Amino acid sequence: MSNEAEEGTRKKKIPAGSIKLQMMGDLMFARVTDKELALLFKRYQLLLETFANMDKDERLLNYKFLVALSLTSHAKKTQNADLRKELFHLKNQLFLNIANDRKNRKKLAFRYLKAKNFRIIKFCETCEKENTAQDLPRHKWKFCKECEIDRNFFDVVQMTHFFDKDAKLSLYLSHDQIEKLEGLTIKHKGKLEKEKERGLFGKFQYTTKNLDVFDLDSVKDAQAKLLKA
């Protein structure tokens, strides 16, 4: 493939980490210096401009959602286990900061999403012997009612904010973090496989697949400033 062809292919998508976020007061800015990425950047520019024109509390709330989604995107794509753990911790801090602020509660919708998958914590002695004898791969091991099973392990709490007509932002909090939600009773339930952790605005989707376009160091810096805002 020629250099020109490679360049053309590369410009169909904004490379990960190529957009730096910057907090100035209670406003967030982002720019790209590569003119060939200008059209692709418009979806992010449009969202940030929309947030900038909102009142301060609403603007900061939406920034927190966006940064949390970006942290999730980076966490899911990194191969470094320690970094992944750190990024999910930063994301959870933002989730809890939003959810435990009483003035935000009336703006948010919470649902408990049940996962179809579950985790085998410990196989019973009988299953351990039988699976080992059959030389089955660990992920194909059979289990019984005597095995220790956590059927809630992959469940999450979904927090959604509808910030405009047909526009929303959604975040997940893992099951092991639910006890940190203060005085919150979640009445509504759903199925995890039918939902997505993402932002929707007009024809654009902002997901954990494309929000790693923001430079990670600048995202972490924004996270720290938003927690203090």
Dihedral sign from CA coordinates of 38, 44, 49, 50: positive
Element (H, E) at 83: helix 81-99
Q: How far apart are CA 115 and CA 30, in angstroms?
A: 36
| Residues 71 and 53 both lie in one domain | yes
| Residues 219 and 127 both lie in one domain | no
| Residues 46 and 108 both lie in one domain | yes
Domain termination site, one of 133, 151, 169: 151
Q: Which domain holds residue 76?
A: 3-117+154-228
pLDDT tens across 65-111, in order? 999 999 999 999 999 999 999 999 999 999 999 999 999 999 999 99
Domain total in the chain? 2
Task: Write down the pTM of the prediction.
Answer: 0.88
Question: What pLDDT, on a 0 to 100 scale, did the predictor assign at position 5?
Answer: 40
Question: What pLDDT, on a 0 to 100 scale, did the predictor assign at position 11?
Answer: 57
| Residues 92 and 132 both lie in one domain | no
